[in-house]
Structure formats: structure tokens, C-alpha cells
Amino acid sequence: MILIPKAVFTQYIDFLKKNNVNVGYHSEYVKWLRYFLDFCAKYVITHHKSERVQLFIGKLREKNQSDDQCKRAAHAVSLYFAMQRQEAMLQAAAEEPDRQPAETAQPACSPQSLEHQRISQYIEAGYQEKSDSPEWDAVLTTMAAEIKVRHYSRKTLKTYGKWSRCFQRFLKNKPPEELSIDDVKAYLTFLAVKCNVAASTQNQAFNSLLFLFRNGLKREFGELRGVPRAKKSLYIPVVLSRDEIDAIIVNLTYPYNLVVKLLFGCGLRQFECLQLRVRDFNFDAGNLTIHGKGKKDRTVPRLTRSFRN
């Protein structure tokens, strides 16, 4: 099981005290945190933090942990994330340039002051996290710059950064200049054989490492042969009937019912629906323009009256 560094352990205990966690639960909270970190390292999880916690709690329920234990485990992990956010904010504040003189300083609640307090959306992308290897940190910074130059999405930056960090941990901080195609083969084999990841997950890891080699290490990737590939899923998605969809919508309130109507009625991805703007609707023609993945736009079929209402 992963050991928590002494400095982090002390900081976490202090954070528990500040949040009025009963002293009798401190050792249990530390245990849940260690389990969670071990769980993330073992299963190479790349999901958002909230999804990682849900998967972790699901695993605990499979191990027949009680509801109270699961609640304390979730609370322990959430406090750890809160501690990290607080540390990031303090670090960002420390890195700010000197404050303006008092007579020209902005009001505390002005837009300018709030802009300085805002944490970058790239903070969770993996490349900004400092590791025990400055060489790896420099490589990931170079890779991130290449991603930004190409105007790739933040989601791509976050995904590539996290897979690169997982690759770094798998190799135990092996110097980047010594990396070879055999290291990539070993890691992809580990994902397929030991972690039993889906084919799409393994392909995502492959694409991330390909970009890391070509644009972070400035080196040819080489040819992969003999690497076990994860089996492609043959899962057939469940399609709800119209009556089942109506039963869902009737129990939703605004604005959630509007979102669900658009998802079902127009066949949208969740992020596509959340990015819709008024200019995307052509109410006269009853058409909707979707700005999808990879900057590929499309129009959906004519909206039916029930969904237009």
C-alpha cells in the first residue's frame, strides 16, 4: 500500500483538526486516504476527481464495507482534495507579483482582484504537478506547450498529461532520455493484461505516449509489435423506448427537463448540449447546429414538435 509522505501526513492531520473531525477518526481517515491513493495507482484511473471517488466507494461496497464507513471514506478523500486546492491557492498567491500601492490597489471584490484569485483550469492537467523528477517535469511542460500551440482542447491536455504521469510512475522516474519503445510496450501490456482496461482506454494511452515521444521528447516513436491489445467491447447499449423517455422527462423540473429533451430528441453528447448557444438554433427551419468533437459541425434532423415545445 502507498505510504503518505511525512510532510503530507502532518498537513493532512492538521487539516482534519481544522475541519473539526473527531480525533478518534483520524487514523481511520488516513487509512481511507491510503486505500484511495493505492486504488488510483493500481487501476490507473484517469477520470475526474468526483468520478474517481465514486469508483472508489463502489469498490468499498463490493468489499462489504458499511454505509457509515463509505461515508467516512468519501469525506476523508474530499478533505484531501480540499487540502490540495487550498495549497494550490496559497502557492498561486505566493507567486503573484508584488501588490500595488494602497492608493492604487483594486477593491477586494473588483473583477480585477477576482481575476487574480482565479485558479487556472490547467491546474489538474498533470503537467503542472511537480514530481520527484525535474527532467520529467520539463518534458511534460514542453509537451503541454505543444498542445497549446496546436489549440487542442483542455480535456486533451488533461488526458495526455495524466497518462504521461502514469507512465512516469510505472517506470519509477526512469530518466526521459533513456526511454525506449520497449518501455511503451511494457506499459501497454501492463494496461491490457494486469489492469484489464477497455480497448478505447488502451488506445487513449497509446495516443498520449505517441504525442509525448514526438513532441515532448522530440524523438521518433518506433514500431509496436507483439503488444497485447485490449479486446474491443461488444457491449450493445440500452436504448430506451419513447414511453420510457416520457416517464423520465415528466419527473424532471426546469431546466433539467429541457437538457434531457435535447439529449434524447437531437442525439447530443452531454458536452455538446451544455455548449449550445441561442445562435445555434434555427427556429424557423426547426434545425439545430452542433459544434462537436474535433471542430466537426453537424446539423440534427428537423426537431419534432414535442421536443421543440
Cα–Cα dist 64/294, whole Å: 43
User: Are residues 11 and 87 both part of a single domain?
Assistant: yes
d(C-alpha 209, C-alpha 205), whole Å: 6
Residues 212, 140 share a domain: yes
Say if 193 falls within a structural domain: yes
Same domain, 86 and 139: no
163 located within any domain: yes
User: Is residue 85 in some structural domain?
Assistant: yes
Shared-domain flag, residues 81 and 136: no
pLDDT at 1: 59
In a domain, 61, yes or no: yes
What is the chain's pLDDT, residue by residue, as a tens digit (309 residues)? 567 778 888 888 988 998 888 888 999 999 998 888 888 777 655 556 777 788 888 888 888 888 889 889 989 988 998 888 888 777 776 655 444 444 444 433 333 333 333 344 444 455 666 778 889 989 998 998 999 898 888 888 889 999 999 999 999 999 999 998 889 999 999 998 888 888 888 889 999 999 999 999 988 877 777 676 666 767 788 888 889 989 999 998 888 888 898 888 888 888 888 888 888 888 888 888 988 777 788 888 655 554 445
Is residue 234 one of the residues assigned to a domain? no
In a 10 Å sphere around its CB, with 0-12 CB exposed, 13-18 middle and 19+ buried, how is residue 127 labelled? buried
Residue 112 included in any domain? no
Q: Are 60 and 40 in contact (CB under 8 A)?
A: no
Cα torsion at 17, 23, 29, 34 (round to 10°)?
90
DSSP summary character for residue 218: -
- What per-residue confidence (pLDDT) applies to 302? 59
The pLDDT, as a whole number, for residue 265 is 84
Q: Is residue 228 part of a domain?
A: no
Same domain, 11 and 84: yes
Q: Any idea what the CATH number is for the domain that residue 139 is in?
A: 1.10.150.130
Partners of 282 in the beta sheet? 287
Residue 254, domain CATH: 1.10.443.10
For the chain, the domain total comes to 3
Phi, psi (5° rounding) for residue 180?
-140, 175
Please give the order of strands across the beta sheet that includes 287-291.
Answer: 281-282, 287-291, 297-300
Residues 211 and 142 in one domain: yes
Residue range of the domain that includes 297: 242-308
140 shares its domain with 196: yes
Same domain, 189 and 147: yes
**Chain centroid offset of residue 166 CA:** 13
What three-state secondary structure class fits 202? helix
- Residue 237 covered by a domain: no
